[in-house]
Amino acid sequence: MMGRDKDSKTNWMLTIVLILGTVTVFFPLYMAFIIAFKQQSEMTNDVAGALAFPARWSLDNFRQAMEVTDFGHSLGNSLLITLATIALSILVHSVAGYAIGRNMAKKKSFRFIYLYIVSGMFVPFSILMMPLVKQTAQMGLGNKVGVILLYLVFYMPMNILLYTGYLKNIPVVLEEAAGIDGASTWKTYWKIIFPMMGPMHATVAVLTALGTWNDVMTPLVIMSGTGENTLPLAQLNFQTQFGTNYNLAFASYILSLIPILIFYIVCQKQILSGVANGAVKG
């Protein structure tokens, strides 16, 4: 009887925590949504007015936000940088993770390489910012290509950590069997290991996409003066040109949220599988 009461109490506590978590997540989204549809004259300081629905539902804010941010061009730049970073990260980091993960237990040098790469997670971007700006300018990489290459390096520590952890779930005997059949290491990787790491590819893709899509600082310092904008960079216009016109700013934020939200929903099942099998054990 005491066990049932304890379980019931635990379930109630979990329910309360989940409700609070849901409210915490959805309340800012609700505010962003209704502000994006309101007119500037409807913005008030009282709580009731702030929470109220717009007097008239209109897409005018979204239209103006798209004009101010040059939405089509900025969206194209963001998509190009994000998709290129995802593709290169999956290809390069998975190969590196496979090489390190399969040799780490046998050779100390690979263990050192693994620790050296993963330690990059503890280096803040602010320390690297000025040297990177100078180096990319000297190498002619102060553009979208330079930003993509920097992202490839920045996300390497986390992705290597995930891939090496996920490899522990793939039996080595599969590679040994392929070797007996005459397959080379390279062929074994692309034909057997790479497809089996599908859930982790999805996890890496989404984590990389979220960081790349929402990043402001890297494109700001690297692409400064090129006249090229990503969506986050274009949204900085609202802080100067419109001052307190949050309606257009939030409309733009909603527009930029839609592509990455769709991408996450599509990959959600694979992400959960990848995190459960790789990140936890890694």
Q: How far is CA 177 from CA 180, 192, 207, 261, in A?
A: 5, 11, 33, 41
Q: Band of the pLDDT at 279, cuts 50, 70, 90?
A: very low
Instruction: Identify the residue with better confidence: 243 or 98.
Output: 98
Calculate ∠ Cα 77-210-207, nearest 5°: 130
The pTM (predicted TM-score) of the whole model is 0.83
Q: Band of the pLDDT at 282, cuts 50, 70, 90?
A: very low
State the average pLDDT over residues 67-94. 93
Residues 238 and 245: their CA atoms lie apart, in Å, by 7
Tokens read off for 96: 């590196």
Does position 2 have pLDDT exceeding 60, yes or no? no
pLDDT given at position 10: 75
pLDDT given at position 243: 60
Does position 92 have pLDDT exceeding 90, yes or no? yes
Over the stretch 119-138, which tens digit does the pLDDT of each residue have? 988 888 888 888 888 888 88
Q: Alpha helices of 38-155 — where are they, by DSSP H? A: 47-51, 60-68, 71-88, 94-103, 108-118, 125-138, 144-154
pLDDT given at position 281: 44
Phi-psi region of 43 (alpha: psi -120 to 50; beta: other; left: phi over 0): beta
pLDDT given at position 42: 74
Q: Which residue has the tokens 């609202």?
A: 238
Over the stretch 170-196, which tens digit does the pLDDT of each residue have? 888 888 888 888 888 889 999 889 998
Tokens read off for 280: 């936890």
Query: How high is the mean pLDDT of the chain?
Result: 84
Over the stretch 13-30, which tens digit does the pLDDT of each residue have? 888 888 888 888 888 888
pLDDT given at position 280: 43
pLDDT-wise least confident of 19-23, 73-77, 82-86? 19-23
State the average pLDDT over residues 162-171. 88
State the average pLDDT over residues 229-253. 79
Q: How far is CA 199 from CA 9, 152, 173, 179, 195, in A?
A: 36, 20, 20, 25, 9
